[in-house]
A and B are shown apart, each in its own frame.
Chain A
Amino acid sequence: MVLGFTLLLLFPMGLALYMSLTDWPLLGEHHFIGLDNYREIMIDKMFWRVLGNTVYFTAGLVPLNIVLALLLALLLSKSLRGIGIFRTAIFVPVMTSLIVWAIVWKLMYATESGLINQLLLMMGIKGPAWLYNQDLAMPAVIVTSVLKNVGLNMVLFIAAIQQVPRSLYEAAKLDGAGRQKTFFHVTLPMITPTVFLTVVMTVIGSLKVFGQIYVMTQGGPSNSTKVLVYYIWEKAFKLFQFGYASALAYVLFAIVLILTLLQWQLRKRWVFNEGDG
Protein backbone atom coordinates (compact mmCIF):
# COMPACT_ATOMS: atom_id res chain seq x y z
CA MET A 1 0.00 0.00 0.00
CA VAL A 2 2.79 2.36 0.94
CA LEU A 3 4.31 1.32 -2.35
CA GLY A 4 1.14 2.48 -4.06
CA PHE A 5 1.35 5.91 -2.50
CA THR A 6 5.02 6.22 -3.31
CA LEU A 7 4.25 5.27 -6.88
CA LEU A 8 1.50 7.85 -7.15
CA LEU A 9 3.08 10.74 -5.25
CA LEU A 10 6.85 10.54 -5.00
CA PHE A 11 7.69 8.87 -8.28
CA PRO A 12 5.76 11.47 -10.34
CA MET A 13 7.54 14.13 -8.33
CA GLY A 14 10.90 12.80 -9.49
CA LEU A 15 9.74 12.26 -13.03
CA ALA A 16 8.39 15.82 -13.16
CA LEU A 17 11.78 17.10 -12.06
CA TYR A 18 13.47 15.14 -14.83
CA MET A 19 10.88 16.28 -17.36
CA SER A 20 11.56 19.88 -16.42
CA LEU A 21 15.10 19.35 -17.68
CA THR A 22 13.97 18.12 -21.09
CA ASP A 23 11.96 19.25 -24.03
CA TRP A 24 9.13 16.74 -23.81
CA PRO A 25 6.60 16.87 -26.62
CA LEU A 26 3.39 14.83 -26.84
CA LEU A 27 4.75 12.74 -29.68
CA GLY A 28 8.31 11.88 -30.57
CA GLU A 29 11.56 11.76 -28.65
CA HIS A 30 12.48 13.95 -25.74
CA HIS A 31 15.93 15.40 -25.22
CA PHE A 32 17.80 16.34 -22.10
CA ILE A 33 18.40 20.08 -22.24
CA GLY A 34 19.59 20.83 -18.72
CA LEU A 35 18.39 24.09 -17.24
CA ASP A 36 17.27 25.58 -20.56
CA ASN A 37 13.58 25.55 -19.55
CA TYR A 38 14.33 27.47 -16.38
CA ARG A 39 16.47 29.96 -18.30
CA GLU A 40 13.66 30.46 -20.75
CA ILE A 41 11.18 31.01 -17.92
CA MET A 42 13.34 33.84 -16.60
CA ILE A 43 13.07 35.72 -19.91
CA ASP A 44 9.49 34.66 -20.66
CA LYS A 45 7.44 37.86 -20.54
CA MET A 46 4.22 35.91 -20.16
CA PHE A 47 5.62 34.09 -17.11
CA TRP A 48 6.26 37.38 -15.32
CA ARG A 49 2.83 38.57 -16.31
CA VAL A 50 1.08 35.49 -14.90
CA LEU A 51 3.25 35.58 -11.79
CA GLY A 52 2.23 39.19 -11.25
CA ASN A 53 -1.44 38.25 -11.73
CA THR A 54 -1.08 35.38 -9.26
CA VAL A 55 0.46 37.70 -6.67
CA TYR A 56 -2.31 40.24 -7.34
CA PHE A 57 -4.96 37.57 -6.75
CA THR A 58 -3.28 36.34 -3.56
CA ALA A 59 -2.63 39.81 -2.16
CA GLY A 60 -6.25 40.73 -2.82
CA LEU A 61 -7.86 37.57 -1.55
CA VAL A 62 -5.95 36.64 1.59
CA PRO A 63 -6.44 39.79 3.72
CA LEU A 64 -10.10 40.07 2.67
CA ASN A 65 -10.75 36.45 3.43
CA ILE A 66 -8.97 36.39 6.81
CA VAL A 67 -10.47 39.64 8.10
CA LEU A 68 -13.99 38.75 6.98
CA ALA A 69 -13.69 35.21 8.37
CA LEU A 70 -12.44 36.54 11.70
CA LEU A 71 -15.21 39.12 11.90
CA LEU A 72 -17.86 36.50 11.10
CA ALA A 73 -16.37 34.07 13.61
CA LEU A 74 -16.50 36.71 16.34
CA LEU A 75 -20.14 37.45 15.56
CA LEU A 76 -21.09 33.79 15.24
CA SER A 77 -19.33 32.46 18.32
CA LYS A 78 -21.80 34.32 20.50
CA SER A 79 -24.78 32.37 21.67
CA LEU A 80 -27.45 34.28 19.82
CA ARG A 81 -30.78 32.79 18.84
CA GLY A 82 -30.86 31.30 15.35
CA ILE A 83 -27.11 31.51 14.90
CA GLY A 84 -27.09 28.13 13.15
CA ILE A 85 -28.99 29.58 10.19
CA PHE A 86 -26.29 32.18 9.59
CA ARG A 87 -23.48 29.67 9.97
CA THR A 88 -25.17 27.44 7.43
CA ALA A 89 -25.79 30.29 4.99
CA ILE A 90 -22.15 31.29 5.07
CA PHE A 91 -20.92 27.73 4.90
CA VAL A 92 -23.06 26.51 2.00
CA PRO A 93 -20.83 28.08 -0.71
CA VAL A 94 -17.85 26.15 0.71
CA MET A 95 -19.74 22.95 -0.02
CA THR A 96 -20.85 23.95 -3.48
CA SER A 97 -18.74 23.02 -6.44
CA LEU A 98 -16.33 25.81 -7.28
CA ILE A 99 -17.34 25.40 -10.89
CA VAL A 100 -21.05 25.81 -10.13
CA TRP A 101 -20.29 28.85 -7.96
CA ALA A 102 -18.15 30.37 -10.72
CA ILE A 103 -20.79 29.70 -13.38
CA VAL A 104 -23.49 31.35 -11.27
CA TRP A 105 -21.26 34.35 -10.57
CA LYS A 106 -20.49 34.65 -14.25
CA LEU A 107 -24.21 35.12 -14.72
CA MET A 108 -24.32 37.57 -11.81
CA TYR A 109 -21.63 39.65 -13.51
CA ALA A 110 -23.17 39.44 -16.99
CA THR A 111 -23.37 42.84 -18.62
CA GLU A 112 -27.03 42.81 -19.71
CA SER A 113 -28.78 40.05 -17.79
CA GLY A 114 -26.57 39.98 -14.69
CA LEU A 115 -28.16 40.73 -11.35
CA ILE A 116 -25.41 43.11 -10.25
CA ASN A 117 -25.82 45.43 -13.20
CA GLN A 118 -29.61 45.20 -12.97
CA LEU A 119 -29.42 46.31 -9.34
CA LEU A 120 -27.01 49.09 -10.26
CA LEU A 121 -29.43 50.19 -12.94
CA MET A 122 -32.16 50.52 -10.35
CA MET A 123 -29.90 53.05 -8.65
CA GLY A 124 -29.43 54.78 -11.98
CA ILE A 125 -25.92 53.50 -12.62
CA LYS A 126 -24.96 51.83 -15.84
CA GLY A 127 -22.78 48.91 -14.74
CA PRO A 128 -19.59 47.98 -16.58
CA ALA A 129 -18.84 44.72 -18.40
CA TRP A 130 -17.20 43.28 -15.29
CA LEU A 131 -15.49 40.24 -16.73
CA TYR A 132 -14.60 41.91 -20.04
CA ASN A 133 -12.77 44.85 -18.55
CA GLN A 134 -9.04 44.52 -17.97
CA ASP A 135 -9.09 46.45 -14.71
CA LEU A 136 -12.25 44.90 -13.26
CA ALA A 137 -11.98 41.22 -14.17
CA MET A 138 -9.44 40.29 -11.50
CA PRO A 139 -11.17 42.13 -8.63
CA ALA A 140 -14.43 40.48 -9.72
CA VAL A 141 -12.86 37.03 -9.58
CA ILE A 142 -11.31 37.85 -6.19
CA VAL A 143 -14.68 38.82 -4.70
CA THR A 144 -16.25 35.61 -6.01
CA SER A 145 -13.41 33.56 -4.55
CA VAL A 146 -13.53 35.24 -1.13
CA LEU A 147 -17.25 34.58 -0.80
CA LYS A 148 -16.80 30.99 -1.90
CA ASN A 149 -14.32 30.05 0.77
CA VAL A 150 -14.68 32.49 3.65
CA GLY A 151 -16.90 29.99 5.49
CA LEU A 152 -14.05 27.51 5.74
CA ASN A 153 -11.74 29.87 7.62
CA MET A 154 -14.70 31.12 9.64
CA VAL A 155 -15.38 27.64 10.99
CA LEU A 156 -11.74 27.18 11.92
CA PHE A 157 -11.76 30.52 13.76
CA ILE A 158 -14.99 29.67 15.59
CA ALA A 159 -13.43 26.42 16.79
CA ALA A 160 -10.34 28.30 17.97
CA ILE A 161 -12.29 31.05 19.72
CA GLN A 162 -14.34 28.50 21.60
CA GLN A 163 -11.12 26.95 22.92
CA VAL A 164 -10.05 30.18 24.65
CA PRO A 165 -10.39 29.64 28.43
CA ARG A 166 -13.30 31.60 29.88
CA SER A 167 -11.14 32.54 32.87
CA LEU A 168 -9.06 34.82 30.63
CA TYR A 169 -12.15 36.81 29.67
CA GLU A 170 -13.15 37.11 33.28
CA ALA A 171 -9.69 38.34 34.18
CA ALA A 172 -9.81 40.88 31.36
CA LYS A 173 -13.20 42.04 32.58
CA LEU A 174 -11.86 42.50 36.10
CA ASP A 175 -9.06 44.61 34.66
CA GLY A 176 -11.74 46.74 33.04
CA ALA A 177 -10.81 45.88 29.46
CA GLY A 178 -13.36 46.90 26.84
CA ARG A 179 -14.45 44.92 23.81
CA GLN A 180 -11.62 46.02 21.55
CA LYS A 181 -8.97 45.57 24.20
CA THR A 182 -10.29 42.13 25.05
CA PHE A 183 -10.12 41.13 21.40
CA PHE A 184 -6.59 42.41 20.80
CA HIS A 185 -5.12 41.32 24.12
CA VAL A 186 -6.97 38.08 24.82
CA THR A 187 -8.78 36.54 21.85
CA LEU A 188 -6.34 37.36 19.06
CA PRO A 189 -3.17 36.28 20.88
CA MET A 190 -4.82 33.03 21.94
CA ILE A 191 -5.90 32.10 18.42
CA THR A 192 -2.68 33.07 16.59
CA PRO A 193 -1.82 29.40 15.90
CA THR A 194 -5.09 29.06 13.96
CA VAL A 195 -4.62 32.41 12.26
CA PHE A 196 -1.16 31.29 11.24
CA LEU A 197 -2.45 28.02 9.85
CA THR A 198 -5.28 29.61 7.90
CA VAL A 199 -3.05 32.32 6.44
CA VAL A 200 -0.56 29.73 5.20
CA MET A 201 -3.30 27.52 3.79
CA THR A 202 -5.12 30.43 2.14
CA VAL A 203 -1.95 31.82 0.58
CA ILE A 204 -1.02 28.42 -0.82
CA GLY A 205 -4.56 27.87 -2.05
CA SER A 206 -4.55 31.28 -3.75
CA LEU A 207 -1.28 30.63 -5.54
CA LYS A 208 -2.95 27.59 -7.06
CA VAL A 209 -6.14 29.31 -8.22
CA PHE A 210 -7.49 27.76 -11.40
CA GLY A 211 -11.13 26.63 -11.62
CA GLN A 212 -12.82 30.01 -11.29
CA ILE A 213 -10.39 31.54 -13.80
CA TYR A 214 -11.08 28.74 -16.25
CA VAL A 215 -14.83 29.22 -16.01
CA MET A 216 -15.15 32.96 -15.61
CA THR A 217 -12.49 34.55 -17.82
CA GLN A 218 -10.30 31.90 -19.49
CA GLY A 219 -7.39 34.13 -18.46
CA GLY A 220 -8.74 37.15 -20.31
CA PRO A 221 -9.39 39.88 -21.17
CA SER A 222 -5.96 40.26 -22.78
CA ASN A 223 -4.28 38.01 -20.19
CA SER A 224 -5.27 40.21 -17.26
CA THR A 225 -6.47 37.22 -15.22
CA LYS A 226 -4.10 34.59 -16.55
CA VAL A 227 -2.57 33.02 -13.42
CA LEU A 228 0.30 30.60 -12.95
CA VAL A 229 -1.67 27.35 -12.81
CA TYR A 230 -3.74 28.40 -15.81
CA TYR A 231 -0.49 29.00 -17.70
CA ILE A 232 0.86 25.60 -16.60
CA TRP A 233 -2.36 23.92 -17.74
CA GLU A 234 -2.25 25.75 -21.05
CA LYS A 235 1.38 24.83 -21.73
CA ALA A 236 0.93 21.20 -20.68
CA PHE A 237 -2.50 20.16 -21.82
CA LYS A 238 -3.29 22.55 -24.64
CA LEU A 239 0.14 23.02 -26.23
CA PHE A 240 1.62 19.73 -24.94
CA GLN A 241 4.95 21.32 -23.97
CA PHE A 242 5.35 18.97 -21.01
CA GLY A 243 8.98 19.88 -20.29
CA TYR A 244 8.38 23.60 -20.08
CA ALA A 245 5.15 23.09 -18.12
CA SER A 246 6.96 20.84 -15.63
CA ALA A 247 9.57 23.52 -15.10
CA LEU A 248 6.77 26.04 -14.48
CA ALA A 249 5.15 23.62 -12.04
CA TYR A 250 8.45 23.28 -10.20
CA VAL A 251 8.71 27.05 -9.95
CA LEU A 252 5.25 26.98 -8.33
CA PHE A 253 6.37 24.21 -6.00
CA ALA A 254 9.48 26.20 -5.05
CA ILE A 255 7.38 29.28 -4.25
CA VAL A 256 4.97 27.22 -2.11
CA LEU A 257 7.86 25.54 -0.33
CA ILE A 258 9.74 28.78 0.37
CA LEU A 259 6.59 30.46 1.69
CA THR A 260 5.82 27.52 3.94
CA LEU A 261 9.34 27.38 5.36
CA LEU A 262 9.49 31.15 5.76
CA GLN A 263 6.23 31.31 7.64
CA TRP A 264 7.31 28.36 9.73
CA GLN A 265 10.36 30.37 10.81
CA LEU A 266 8.33 33.51 11.46
CA ARG A 267 5.82 31.48 13.40
CA LYS A 268 8.13 31.24 16.38
CA ARG A 269 8.21 35.02 16.64
CA TRP A 270 4.55 35.82 16.77
CA VAL A 271 2.49 32.74 17.44
CA PHE A 272 1.35 32.58 21.01
CA ASN A 273 2.73 29.61 22.87
CA GLU A 274 1.29 28.71 26.24
CA GLY A 275 4.58 27.25 27.44
CA ASP A 276 6.43 30.55 27.04
CA GLY A 277 4.70 32.23 29.95
Chain B
Amino acid sequence: MKAMAKPSFRTAGGAVGTYLLLTLISIIMIVPFIWMISTSFKEPQSIFTYPPQWIPEPFRFQNYIDVFRLIPFHRFYFNSVYIAVVVVLGTVFFASLAGYAFAKIPFKGRNVVFLILLSAMMIPHEVTAIPMFLFMRQLGWIDTHLPLILLPIFGAGGVFGIFVMRQFFITVPTELEEAAMVDGCNRFRIYAQIMLPIAKPGMATLTIFTFVTNWNEFFDPLIFINSRELMTLPLGLSLFTDEVGTAWQYLMSATVMATIPLLIVFFMAQRRFIEGVAMTGLKE
Protein backbone atom coordinates (compact mmCIF):
# COMPACT_ATOMS: atom_id res chain seq x y z
CA MET B 1 0.00 0.00 0.00
CA LYS B 2 2.80 2.39 0.92
CA ALA B 3 4.43 1.89 -2.45
CA MET B 4 1.24 2.83 -4.29
CA ALA B 5 1.07 6.17 -2.54
CA LYS B 6 4.43 7.17 -3.99
CA PRO B 7 4.42 10.86 -4.88
CA SER B 8 5.63 10.83 -8.44
CA PHE B 9 3.48 10.04 -11.45
CA ARG B 10 6.37 8.02 -12.71
CA THR B 11 5.18 4.52 -12.28
CA ALA B 12 6.88 2.34 -14.86
CA GLY B 13 3.78 2.03 -17.04
CA GLY B 14 3.16 5.77 -16.88
CA ALA B 15 6.64 6.59 -18.11
CA VAL B 16 6.37 4.22 -21.06
CA GLY B 17 2.99 5.67 -21.97
CA THR B 18 4.35 9.18 -21.72
CA TYR B 19 7.29 8.33 -23.96
CA LEU B 20 5.02 6.67 -26.52
CA LEU B 21 2.68 9.63 -26.65
CA LEU B 22 5.53 12.14 -26.87
CA THR B 23 7.26 10.11 -29.57
CA LEU B 24 4.07 9.96 -31.61
CA ILE B 25 3.49 13.71 -31.42
CA SER B 26 7.14 14.47 -32.11
CA ILE B 27 7.03 12.27 -35.19
CA ILE B 28 3.99 14.17 -36.50
CA MET B 29 5.94 17.39 -35.98
CA ILE B 30 9.13 16.18 -37.62
CA VAL B 31 7.78 14.06 -40.50
CA PRO B 32 6.92 17.10 -42.67
CA PHE B 33 10.56 18.17 -42.47
CA ILE B 34 11.82 14.70 -43.33
CA TRP B 35 9.36 14.49 -46.21
CA MET B 36 10.55 17.91 -47.36
CA ILE B 37 14.20 16.81 -47.32
CA SER B 38 13.37 13.49 -48.95
CA THR B 39 11.35 15.11 -51.74
CA SER B 40 14.10 17.67 -52.33
CA PHE B 41 16.39 14.89 -53.59
CA LYS B 42 13.84 13.15 -55.78
CA GLU B 43 13.38 12.94 -59.50
CA PRO B 44 9.98 14.20 -60.65
CA GLN B 45 8.73 10.70 -61.45
CA SER B 46 9.78 9.22 -58.10
CA ILE B 47 7.66 11.76 -56.17
CA PHE B 48 4.63 9.76 -57.26
CA THR B 49 6.02 6.30 -56.61
CA TYR B 50 4.08 4.11 -54.29
CA PRO B 51 4.76 3.02 -51.55
CA PRO B 52 6.30 6.32 -50.39
CA GLN B 53 10.04 6.46 -50.83
CA TRP B 54 11.94 7.92 -47.87
CA ILE B 55 15.41 7.59 -49.35
CA PRO B 56 15.14 8.60 -52.99
CA GLU B 57 16.46 6.27 -55.65
CA PRO B 58 18.17 7.78 -57.63
CA PHE B 59 19.39 10.42 -55.19
CA ARG B 60 19.39 13.67 -57.08
CA PHE B 61 21.53 16.41 -55.55
CA GLN B 62 21.29 18.29 -58.81
CA ASN B 63 17.90 19.72 -57.68
CA TYR B 64 19.73 22.02 -55.30
CA ILE B 65 21.79 23.44 -58.11
CA ASP B 66 18.89 23.68 -60.54
CA VAL B 67 16.89 25.84 -58.14
CA PHE B 68 19.33 28.68 -58.68
CA ARG B 69 18.84 28.34 -62.41
CA LEU B 70 15.04 28.26 -62.32
CA ILE B 71 14.30 31.09 -59.92
CA PRO B 72 16.41 34.03 -58.69
CA PHE B 73 16.98 32.07 -55.52
CA HIS B 74 20.35 33.62 -54.65
CA ARG B 75 18.68 37.05 -54.78
CA PHE B 76 15.91 35.95 -52.38
CA TYR B 77 18.57 34.61 -50.07
CA PHE B 78 20.75 37.68 -50.19
CA ASN B 79 17.75 39.99 -49.65
CA SER B 80 16.51 38.02 -46.67
CA VAL B 81 19.93 37.93 -45.02
CA TYR B 82 20.79 41.58 -45.42
CA ILE B 83 17.32 42.86 -44.46
CA ALA B 84 17.31 40.66 -41.35
CA VAL B 85 20.78 41.85 -40.33
CA VAL B 86 19.97 45.54 -40.81
CA VAL B 87 16.63 45.19 -38.99
CA VAL B 88 18.23 43.35 -36.06
CA LEU B 89 21.01 45.94 -35.68
CA GLY B 90 18.57 48.84 -35.98
CA THR B 91 16.03 47.36 -33.60
CA VAL B 92 18.56 46.49 -30.89
CA PHE B 93 20.20 49.91 -31.15
CA PHE B 94 17.04 52.03 -31.03
CA ALA B 95 15.18 49.77 -28.63
CA SER B 96 18.05 49.79 -26.14
CA LEU B 97 18.30 53.58 -26.28
CA ALA B 98 14.56 54.08 -25.86
CA GLY B 99 14.28 51.29 -23.33
CA TYR B 100 16.97 52.93 -21.24
CA ALA B 101 15.17 56.26 -21.41
CA PHE B 102 11.86 54.73 -20.37
CA ALA B 103 13.47 52.83 -17.51
CA LYS B 104 15.91 55.33 -16.08
CA ILE B 105 15.43 58.89 -17.29
CA PRO B 106 12.53 60.61 -15.57
CA PHE B 107 10.69 62.87 -17.99
CA LYS B 108 7.24 64.35 -18.05
CA GLY B 109 4.47 61.98 -19.10
CA ARG B 110 6.87 59.04 -19.31
CA ASN B 111 4.41 56.42 -18.18
CA VAL B 112 1.60 57.77 -20.33
CA VAL B 113 3.78 57.69 -23.43
CA PHE B 114 4.91 54.17 -22.58
CA LEU B 115 1.31 53.01 -22.19
CA ILE B 116 0.34 54.54 -25.50
CA LEU B 117 3.23 52.71 -27.13
CA LEU B 118 2.16 49.41 -25.58
CA SER B 119 -1.44 49.85 -26.63
CA ALA B 120 -0.24 50.58 -30.16
CA MET B 121 1.08 47.01 -30.18
CA MET B 122 -2.54 45.84 -30.07
CA ILE B 123 -3.46 47.49 -33.35
CA PRO B 124 -3.92 44.85 -36.04
CA HIS B 125 -1.22 45.15 -38.64
CA GLU B 126 -3.84 44.96 -41.39
CA VAL B 127 -5.30 48.32 -40.32
CA THR B 128 -2.07 50.28 -40.55
CA ALA B 129 -0.82 48.42 -43.61
CA ILE B 130 -3.22 50.21 -45.96
CA PRO B 131 -2.22 53.78 -45.02
CA MET B 132 1.41 52.66 -44.92
CA PHE B 133 1.14 51.41 -48.46
CA LEU B 134 -0.16 54.81 -49.62
CA PHE B 135 2.44 56.62 -47.53
CA MET B 136 5.27 54.57 -49.02
CA ARG B 137 3.81 55.05 -52.47
CA GLN B 138 3.82 58.81 -51.94
CA LEU B 139 7.50 58.60 -51.03
CA GLY B 140 8.20 56.42 -54.06
CA TRP B 141 9.38 53.56 -51.84
CA ILE B 142 7.10 50.85 -53.22
CA ASP B 143 9.19 48.05 -54.69
CA THR B 144 12.22 49.03 -52.62
CA HIS B 145 13.55 47.49 -49.43
CA LEU B 146 13.06 50.64 -47.36
CA PRO B 147 9.58 49.72 -46.02
CA LEU B 148 10.82 46.24 -45.09
CA ILE B 149 13.67 47.78 -43.08
CA LEU B 150 12.06 50.87 -41.54
CA LEU B 151 8.65 49.47 -40.58
CA PRO B 152 9.94 46.66 -38.34
CA ILE B 153 12.50 48.89 -36.61
CA PHE B 154 10.06 51.70 -35.85
CA GLY B 155 6.80 49.78 -35.89
CA ALA B 156 5.34 47.11 -33.64
CA GLY B 157 8.61 45.15 -33.60
CA GLY B 158 10.43 48.20 -32.27
CA VAL B 159 7.83 48.74 -29.57
CA PHE B 160 8.22 45.14 -28.51
CA GLY B 161 11.99 45.71 -28.37
CA ILE B 162 11.62 48.77 -26.17
CA PHE B 163 9.40 46.77 -23.86
CA VAL B 164 11.95 43.94 -23.55
CA MET B 165 14.90 46.29 -23.02
CA ARG B 166 13.04 48.42 -20.50
CA GLN B 167 12.32 45.34 -18.41
CA PHE B 168 16.07 44.64 -18.26
CA PHE B 169 17.17 48.19 -17.49
CA ILE B 170 14.57 48.62 -14.77
CA THR B 171 16.22 45.91 -12.66
CA VAL B 172 19.51 47.84 -12.50
CA PRO B 173 19.83 49.55 -9.12
CA THR B 174 19.76 53.35 -9.28
CA GLU B 175 22.71 53.55 -6.86
CA LEU B 176 24.94 52.15 -9.56
CA GLU B 177 24.02 55.04 -11.82
CA GLU B 178 24.34 57.61 -9.07
CA ALA B 179 27.81 56.35 -8.24
CA ALA B 180 28.78 56.65 -11.87
CA MET B 181 27.41 60.19 -12.04
CA VAL B 182 29.43 61.15 -8.99
CA ASP B 183 32.46 59.84 -10.83
CA GLY B 184 31.61 62.24 -13.64
CA CYS B 185 29.99 59.93 -16.17
CA ASN B 186 27.38 61.50 -18.41
CA ARG B 187 24.14 59.82 -19.45
CA PHE B 188 25.52 58.37 -22.63
CA ARG B 189 28.57 56.86 -20.95
CA ILE B 190 26.35 55.31 -18.29
CA TYR B 191 24.21 53.83 -21.03
CA ALA B 192 27.13 52.54 -23.08
CA GLN B 193 29.51 51.39 -20.36
CA ILE B 194 27.28 50.31 -17.49
CA MET B 195 23.81 49.58 -18.80
CA LEU B 196 24.51 47.82 -22.07
CA PRO B 197 26.84 45.18 -20.57
CA ILE B 198 24.20 44.40 -17.94
CA ALA B 199 21.47 44.13 -20.56
CA LYS B 200 23.39 41.64 -22.70
CA PRO B 201 20.90 38.76 -22.06
CA GLY B 202 18.06 41.08 -23.06
CA MET B 203 19.85 42.13 -26.21
CA ALA B 204 20.52 38.50 -27.07
CA THR B 205 16.85 37.59 -26.62
CA LEU B 206 15.77 40.56 -28.69
CA THR B 207 18.29 39.72 -31.41
CA ILE B 208 17.00 36.18 -31.78
CA PHE B 209 13.35 37.24 -31.69
CA THR B 210 13.83 39.99 -34.22
CA PHE B 211 15.86 37.80 -36.54
CA VAL B 212 13.31 34.98 -36.49
CA THR B 213 10.31 37.28 -36.90
CA ASN B 214 11.96 39.15 -39.73
CA TRP B 215 13.22 36.05 -41.52
CA ASN B 216 9.66 34.70 -41.54
CA GLU B 217 7.89 37.95 -42.40
CA PHE B 218 5.46 37.52 -45.26
CA PHE B 219 2.67 40.10 -45.32
CA ASP B 220 4.83 43.21 -45.78
CA PRO B 221 6.99 41.83 -48.60
CA LEU B 222 3.78 40.70 -50.29
CA ILE B 223 2.42 44.23 -50.21
CA PHE B 224 5.53 46.29 -50.89
CA ILE B 225 7.57 44.20 -53.32
CA ASN B 226 6.75 43.47 -56.96
CA SER B 227 10.07 42.72 -58.65
CA ARG B 228 11.47 39.23 -58.41
CA GLU B 229 14.95 40.57 -57.76
CA LEU B 230 13.78 42.29 -54.58
CA MET B 231 11.75 39.45 -53.05
CA THR B 232 12.65 37.84 -49.75
CA LEU B 233 12.63 34.08 -49.22
CA PRO B 234 9.07 33.52 -47.89
CA LEU B 235 7.56 35.67 -50.61
CA GLY B 236 9.72 34.24 -53.36
CA LEU B 237 8.92 30.67 -52.33
CA SER B 238 5.19 31.30 -51.99
CA LEU B 239 5.02 32.63 -55.53
CA PHE B 240 6.60 29.49 -56.87
CA THR B 241 4.16 27.05 -55.32
CA ASP B 242 2.05 27.25 -58.42
CA GLU B 243 4.25 28.74 -61.08
CA VAL B 244 6.68 25.86 -61.16
CA GLY B 245 3.57 23.73 -61.40
CA THR B 246 4.12 20.45 -59.68
CA ALA B 247 7.91 20.74 -59.53
CA TRP B 248 7.84 19.88 -55.86
CA GLN B 249 11.41 18.61 -55.87
CA TYR B 250 12.75 22.11 -56.65
CA LEU B 251 10.41 23.85 -54.28
CA MET B 252 11.43 21.48 -51.50
CA SER B 253 15.16 21.94 -52.04
CA ALA B 254 14.55 25.70 -51.95
CA THR B 255 12.56 25.47 -48.69
CA VAL B 256 15.26 23.25 -47.15
CA MET B 257 17.84 25.89 -47.92
CA ALA B 258 15.56 28.68 -46.68
CA THR B 259 15.09 26.90 -43.34
CA ILE B 260 18.75 26.18 -42.61
CA PRO B 261 19.76 29.60 -41.18
CA LEU B 262 16.76 29.53 -38.82
CA LEU B 263 17.64 26.08 -37.56
CA ILE B 264 21.24 27.15 -36.97
CA VAL B 265 20.07 30.17 -34.96
CA PHE B 266 17.62 28.00 -33.09
CA PHE B 267 20.08 25.32 -32.07
CA MET B 268 22.70 27.87 -31.11
CA ALA B 269 20.29 29.82 -28.96
CA GLN B 270 17.70 27.17 -28.15
CA ARG B 271 17.66 27.52 -24.39
CA ARG B 272 17.69 31.29 -24.41
CA PHE B 273 15.02 31.46 -27.08
CA ILE B 274 12.57 29.14 -25.35
CA GLU B 275 13.19 30.94 -22.07
CA GLY B 276 12.67 34.24 -23.83
CA VAL B 277 9.30 33.10 -25.13
CA ALA B 278 8.27 32.02 -21.66
CA MET B 279 9.58 35.20 -20.10
CA THR B 280 7.91 37.71 -22.34
CA GLY B 281 4.81 35.63 -22.90
CA LEU B 282 4.34 36.66 -26.49
CA LYS B 283 6.01 36.37 -29.80
CA GLU B 284 4.67 38.98 -32.12
Q: Considering only CB atoms and an 8 Å cut-off, how many residues of chain B contact the other chain?
A: 87
Contact of B148 with A by CB under 8 A: no
- Complex interface: chain A residues within 8 A of B26 (CB): 85-86, 89-90
Are the C-beta atoms of B158 and A5 separated by less than 8 Å?
yes
Pick the contact of B33: A16, A92, A156, A245 (CB < 8 A). Answer: A92
Contact of B127 among A99, A210, A233, A250 (CB under 8 A): A250
Tell me whether B123 and A253 are in contact (CB under 8 A): yes
Q: Does A42 contact B (CB under 8 A)?
A: no
Residues of B with C-beta under 8 A to A10: 116, 120
B residues in contact with A110, CB < 8 Å = 248
CB within 8 Å for A86 and B22 given contacts A16-B130, A99-B218: yes
Q: Among the listed stretches B66-74, B164-172, B186-194, B250-258, which one makes contact with chain A, having 4 or more residues with CB under 8 Å of it?
A: B250-258
Report Cα–Cα, A32/B197, bound state, in Å. Answer: 54
A80 within 8 A of B: yes
Q: Which residue in chain A gives the minimum CB-CB distance to B17?
A: A75
Q: How far is the CA of A157 from the CA of B278 in the complex (A)?
A: 8
Bound-complex Cα distance A150 to B137 (A): 38
Do A249 and B52 have beta carbons less than 8 Å apart? Answer: no
C-alpha spacing A169/B248, complex, angstroms: 52
Stretch from A47-55, A111-119, A269-277 at the B interface: A111-119
Segment among A33-41, A58-66, A101-109, A134-142 that sits at the interface with chain B: A101-109
Residues of A within 8 A of B97 (CB): 1
B117 interfacial contact with A, CB 8 Å? yes
A169 to B9, CA, bound (A): 12
Q: How far is the CA of A257 from the CA of B248 in the complex (A)?
A: 41
CB distance from B116 to the nearest CB of A (A): 7
> Assuming A8-B154, A99-B237, A107-B248, is B131 touching A19 (CB within 8 A)?
yes
CA of A101 to CA of B223, assembled, Å? 21
Inter-subunit contact A96/B277 (CB<8 Å): no
Chain A CB within 8 A of B86 CB = no
B98 at the interface (CB under 8 A from A): yes
Chain A residues in contact with chain B, CB under 8 A? 1-2, 4-5, 7-13, 15-16, 19, 72, 75-76, 78, 80, 85-101, 103-108, 110, 112-113, 115, 118-119, 121-122, 147, 151-152, 155-156, 158-159, 169-170, 173, 179, 194, 197, 201, 205, 208, 210-211, 214-215, 229, 232-233, 236-237, 242, 245-246, 249-250, 252-253, 256-257, 260
